[in-house]
Amino acid sequence: MNNFDRIAPVYDLLAGIVFGKSIRRAQTLFLKEIPQGGHVLVLGGGTGWLLAELLSLNPNCKVVYIDASLKMVEMAKKKAEGSNNVFFVHGTENSVPRGIEFDAIITHFYLDLFGQESCTKVVSLIRSSCHHRTLWLACDFMNRTWWHSAMLCVMYRFFRVMTSLNVREFPEWKKSIRQSGFVEISSKDFSKGFISSALFQLGGVSGQN
Ligand SMILES: C[S@@+](CC[C@H](N)C(=O)[O-])C[C@H]1O[C@@H](n2cnc3c(N)ncnc32)[C@H](O)[C@@H]1O
């Protein structure tokens, strides 16, 4: 299993250096679509900067925040100080509490941590915690051209060394989400198409944007 503890203190800085402001714009794009006071599942949430944004836009939402890195969870807890609405879990997709049907799922730069087969399994696991109109906010890399492949190759090597991440194939994460019954109702590209921020909904109407 991967371990992001080592790079947790510098993760946001590195992301900012490589992708500038676009990586944050991509991740916050659809936050306002989450229903006020809704149940939100954040998987692989990282340092928690996005959690702070979510809580300021939607102070009454009830969040389950899961990350496999203890350091990341500790950092995220500090960002949510003062809010009693976040349940932090040091764990993985297998730790999602049973019995909650989430109104929104957030997986930013998370599904790319799995090969295709595992990605599809993880998506279907998450799907089992959704109701018939759940929103899924997913922001991740795309592999559309030669330089995207080159960047992914460099990044996976970096993460293999720093976190023991062992992914050999980049997953078609949008396809996995669609195959589980979600419809992509809106999306926007960032960083020359290397990053896509997408909003899916179960049973949604496609082609709204
Ligand atoms: C690439 S970082 C993205 C962090 C954050 N979502 C962002 O975009 O800034 C991936 C995060 O997922 C966590 N992670 C890795 N594997 C995981 C798993 N199976 N379940 C939950 N979290 C995981 C890592 O610890 C790390 O914090």
207: pLDDT strictly greater than 50: no
40: pLDDT strictly greater than 90: yes
209: pLDDT strictly greater than 50: no
Please tell me if the CB atom of residue 139 comes closer than 6 angstroms to any atom of ligand 1. no
Predicted local confidence at residue 1, as pLDDT: 77
Q: How many angstroms is it from 95 CA to the middle of ligand 1?
A: 14
Model-level pTM?
Answer: 0.96
Predicted local confidence at residue 82, as pLDDT: 85
Closest ligand 1 atom, residue 3 Cα: 25
Yes or no: domain 8-202 corresponds to CATH 3.40.50.150: yes
Cβ–Cβ < 8 Å for 73, 88: yes
What is the residue-averaged pLDDT of the chain? Answer: 95
Task: Show me where the domains of the chain are located.
Answer: 8-202
Q: What is the DSSP string of 151-187?
A: HHHHHHHHHHHHH-----S---HHHHHHHTTEEEEEE
47: pLDDT strictly greater than 90: yes
pLDDT tens string 82-94? 899 999 999 999 9
Average of pLDDT values for 3-31?
Answer: 96
**Residue 125: both structure tokens together:** 């696991």
Predicted local confidence at residue 205, as pLDDT: 59
Predicted local confidence at residue 208, as pLDDT: 43
**Residue 203: both structure tokens together:** 């049973």
Q: How many angstroms is it from 33 CA to the middle of ligand 1?
A: 22
Query: Closest Cα to atom 20, ligand 1: which residue?
Result: 92
Closest ligand 1 atom, residue 67 Cα: 22
Q: What is the DSSP string of 74-111?
A: HHHHHHTTT-S-EEEEES-GGGPPTT--EEEEEEES-G
